[in-house]
């Protein structure tokens, strides 16, 4: 595992201030990344009311054209974000830490297809179907204990649940089903 992508998995109860933290960070990022960014959205479990989560704010930023990561790295150099190579194609990933703990994940992606991404389908489906929030929280707590020092294993172990919700969301919207790892 990439050492710079390694952190402890710690799931905590929902905090109502996560949305406020996102809004503050969104304003900071709009100031730093303008005119490149055309939309910034709060994703991940911290964006879902009453969802237990790792206390890391996930942020998706859309750009008209995805430029080389160095462009964004240069803009973000004094913001606390650092670029992390993940091997994911079609996006750039940055992480921000405070006192040695991850606080924010920033994904920069092209605007085309932005709102049809699985992350938005998942977020919006759980927001509309709170019965899944409890089930997901229980799964996350169990997996956080099992994979406490393996964030990649923790993420992979959630795949079946995420795939099920993604399939339900796609079916509800009349979209074709697809593998969440594609």
For the question of whether the overall pTM of this predicted structure is more than 0.85, the answer is yes
Tally of domains within the chain: 1
Confidence of residue 1 (pLDDT cuts 50, 70, 90): very low
Evaluate whether residue 181 is within a structural domain: no
Q: Quick check: is 66 in a domain?
A: yes
Q: Buried (b) or exposed (e) across 63-83, using 16+ Cβ within 10 A?
A: beebeebeebeebbeebebeb
Which residue range(s) make up the domain with 63? 3-171
Is 99 among the domain residues? yes
Residue 103 lies in a domain: yes
Average pLDDT over residues 159-168: 97
Q: What confidence tens digit (pLDDT) does each residue in 75-130 have?
A: 999 999 999 998 888 999 999 998 888 899 999 999 999 999 999 999 999 999 99
Q: Looking at the domain assignment, is residue 90 inside a domain?
A: yes
Residue 19 maps to which CATH number? 3.30.460.10
Mean pLDDT throughout 132-140? 96
- Say if 182 falls within a structural domain: no
Answer with the residue of higher pLDDT: 34 or 182: 34
């Amino acid at each position: 595992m990439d050492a710079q992508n390694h952190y402890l998995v710690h799931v905590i109860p929902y905090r109502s201030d996560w949305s406020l933290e996102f809004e503050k960070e969104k304003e900071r990022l709009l100031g730093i990344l303008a005119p490149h960014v055309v939309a910034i959205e709060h994703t991940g479990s911290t964006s879902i009311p009453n969802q237990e989560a790792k206390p890391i704010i996930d942020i998706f930023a859309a750009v008209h054209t995805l430029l080389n990561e160095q462009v964004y790295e240069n803009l973000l150099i004094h913001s606390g974000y650092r670029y992390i190579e993940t091997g994911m194609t079609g996006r750039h990933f940055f992480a921000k830490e405070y006192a040695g703990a991850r606080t924010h994940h920033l994904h920069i992606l092209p605007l085309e297809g932005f709102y049809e991404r699985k992350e938005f389908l998942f977020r919006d489906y759980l927001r509309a179907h709170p019965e899944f929030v409890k089930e997901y929280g229980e799964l996350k707590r169990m997996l956080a204990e099992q994979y406490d020092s393996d964030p990649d294993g923790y993420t992979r172990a959630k795949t079946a649940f995420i795939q099920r919700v993604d399939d339900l969301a796609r079916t509800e919207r009349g979209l074709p089903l697809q593998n969440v790892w594609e």
